[in-house]
Amino acid sequence: MPKTFKRFSFRKREAKNFLGKISQSLGIEAEKIFGSKPRIEVIDTLKNKIYLINGDPLFAMFEDIIFPTLFFEEYISRLPKVTVDMGAVPHICNGADVMAPGIVEINGDFNEKALVIIIDDRNKRPIAVAQSLFDSEKTRTIKKGKVFKNLHCVGDEIWNLIKDHISR
């Protein structure tokens, strides 16, 4: 299989700018979490960018949206959780967006365009990181249609690249 990605390191200024961008977009204090001079590498694929901080694949970017990968358990454990029924799981793991009929439960409050973690009903394990299309109040009332945009899921390009090429 041909190599379809480029891997490179950020310089100090690029790393500092990236930490600032993460802090602003995700509401965390990145320098406190990762230190003032972490080693940041980027894996640039055709569709996504994966950011490794001190060797760990913690963030990704798709369509200018920065989000945590499913491997950044410390952060995703704090996100609002959306539980889906087992019938929705294979579709979501194939990249489908989350539809209202598949939602079993919503834990936590969020605004429109907020990040949420999608978990399956049986195992209660994270299967996807998604972006809300509505706030939590409206999402709870919607009975049909798309309610979350799937950004990253088990089995997608990001997941497979991390599993196959990045030693943790």
Each residue's pLDDT tens digit, 31-69: 888 888 899 999 998 888 999 999 999 999 988 899 999
Q: What is the pLDDT of residue 2?
A: 45
| Cβ contact 145:94 at 8 Å | no
| Cβ contact 57:50 at 8 Å | yes
What does the block give as tokens for 142?
Answer: 């919607």
Q: What is the pLDDT of residue 93?
A: 96
What does the block give as tokens for 18?
Answer: 């990236």
Taking the model in full, what pTM does it have?
0.90
The pLDDT-based confidence of 5 (bands split at 50, 70, 90) is confident
What is the per-residue pLDDT across 107-161, written as a single tens digit (0 to 9) for each? 999 999 999 999 999 999 999 999 999 999 999 999 999 999 999 999 998 998 8
Q: What is the pLDDT of residue 36?
A: 80
| Cβ contact 118:130 at 8 Å | yes
Write out the DSSP string of 105-144.
Answer: EEES---TT-EEEEEETTT--EEEEEEESS-HHHHTT--S
